Structure 1
């Protein structure tokens, strides 16, 4: 490993966005958590608590039992969704984190915006580009900041990969390969009565739920947006009769760089991103799942270097960035306009899968 290469890997987990002293934060951003599914309970709430810049104060969900249990366990204020939307507890939070099924994001974001609260909304933004644009407009018109939950963008492994690409370590990027798969009905529970399998709530399954990860992470790493997409989807099992079980898609980026992505909700667990250039390959494997350590490797001139680094709590990093930027008065990178590009691309994958033709992505 030469000195120039090592320079970009020193202090691997550094927060290159951080300008405030986390130890000096007296009043962290108070967050209302909307939606208490497994991800919010097991990852988001612990991440908020671990971050020096945020604290959870209010929780809500359509499941009153979940609200009561989580509020009691964490000493938080529990409210009904109607109370949250009406602003009944608005003086107890500064920001709203929306982690509900995709088709319900808009109503909660609109309520938060009307209350003048900053918003962190999970991705994808909504079920259609049209509803996503309404969501972004609601925050814009109310003058409230909107961040979208692309946790990969604050993961140090992804940021270091982008640093190396910026430094030219890979040379000219030729193509990207990415894959993300899981046995959804095993890893997330065997119950088929879940929102991801309802197209009205999810907007789709494999592409919407998993495809957004390789799509957005590739955009972030390359600092480019796709100009054309093509895709194919298929479903083999009854549980996935109304949504896409498996999908593959191609993203065409400026400079004739192609990203080839495969995702599945019913295949062996896998998570990998590989960027191949004229001089080196940069590999994240595992890459996308919050519940497993990331692996980082560089292959150059026949030599593979696996970087050993201290793993971070991926959701802590996301909420630390969210709270830090609010307290510092700085904008978010993954804002609503950024997320709308993903919505157009995801919609284009489905359109291409239906028509069999590539889809051009306009502004």
Structure 2
């Protein structure tokens, strides 16, 4: 099982069947709405490096930034009023929304109104109610929606999911994960949207806590049933948001082997035999760290450098068959993310991290906030 699972850590399984139809060689042209540092330095360059995605339009409220982006990426640059009015809408097929969380809804509604497909950064919005309206807008307009869970497109994570689904570590018993991101590091100061609770919806929980939560869910093929959490914000700079969060997520059943076919991911999922628990943490200060571990009845998976964009994953898999250690494996998951989305749009293929997937996490994050306020366990 080791050899078959980990010998293809760059394989794009989502292109194996050429998609559900259409031209798999077609290019999906993407407009980027919101041009902060992450979009400029990570997302748009990833589109340029991909096979199926192409950046063609950028939307920014800063005229100087528009000029720089137009020159750097050879794209059409417009303002938000022009985007709302449909200017340059014939130059893109889909929209990547990368604005602060509470602005996702209006920008997605605009894209849906123009008949454009959407890939929206996570979490989907600042509140569950607004996220539900966002998903409904795309459903009503008949456009595709992908929640931008780039880790779900990382080939290493996809091979690990196949391994877990095939019973590689037996019944899952617990998971743990951490994402510590010093948000005030470098030149960054306190005047940023991530520290504005209304714009962000939450602090470390919303911004980086969603990574270990969603990635563990993805690997296990399971959804949460209850959440309990505590938050701390000892630094006055984080008065409006959680600086640190620790949250315990209960899942309804242990993920296991199913029929034992590692390729049958659609049929993989929870089996009878009790639940498992995820213990996750996230911080806006401290030494940078991203890690994820899954412990099963018959093995263990540990991933270091688990969530940084473009990082070389360090993976250790231990079972009775032996130990496998992978380093410098996989591919740039941000390139994979946009190619996955663009390929699905062009071919009519499935989008697994869709709006419904994003809503599962929104409800879990809201439950964590409620638990932190009340001190109780919140059922979902």
**Given the two structures, how large is their TM-score scaled by the length of structure 1?**
0.95
Aligned to 2:242: 244
The alignment status of 1:262 with 2:281, answered yes or no, reads yes
Match of 2:336 among 317, 333, 342: 317
Q: Is the 1:13–1:309 contact (alpha carbons within 8 Å) kept by the matching residues of 2?
A: no
CA drift at 1:126: 0.3
Aligned to 2:272: none
Q: Is the 1:25–1:52 contact (alpha carbons within 8 Å) kept by the matching residues of 2?
A: no
Aligned to 1:16: 13
Match of 2:189 among 191, 197, 215: 191
CA distance in 1, matches of 2:171, 2:305: 24
CA distance in 2, matches of 1:310, 1:25: 26
CA drift at 1:312: 1.3
**Given the two structures, how large is their TM-score scaled by the length of structure 2?**
0.91
Q: Is the 1:228–1:252 contact (alpha carbons within 8 Å) kept by the matching residues of 2?
A: yes
Aligned to 1:60: 59
CA distance in 2, matches of 1:235, 1:11: 43
Match of 1:210 among 200, 208, 218: 208
Q: Deviations over 1:12-59 (max 9, x none)?
A: 1101111449xx966411100111111111110111111110111100
Q: Is the 2:149–2:353 contact (alpha carbons within 8 Å) kept by the matching residues of 1?
A: yes
Unaligned runs of 5+ in 2: 254-274
CA distance in 1, matches of 2:245, 2:323: 30
CA distance in 1, matches of 2:208, 2:329: 26
Aligned residues: 355
CA distance in 2, matches of 1:30, 1:198: 32
Match of 1:272 among 291, 301, 305: 291
Aligned to 2:265: none
Match of 1:306 among 303, 325, 334: 325
Q: Is the 1:182–1:268 contact (alpha carbons within 8 Å) kept by the matching residues of 2?
A: yes
Q: Is the 1:20–1:324 contact (alpha carbons within 8 Å) kept by the matching residues of 2?
A: no
Deviates more, 1:133-142 or 1:284-293: 284-293
The alignment status of 1:7 with 2:7, answered yes or no, reads no
CA drift at 1:174: 0.7
CA distance in 2, matches of 1:242, 1:310: 39
Aligned to 1:146: 145
RMSD value, Cα = 1.5
Aligned to 1:230: 228
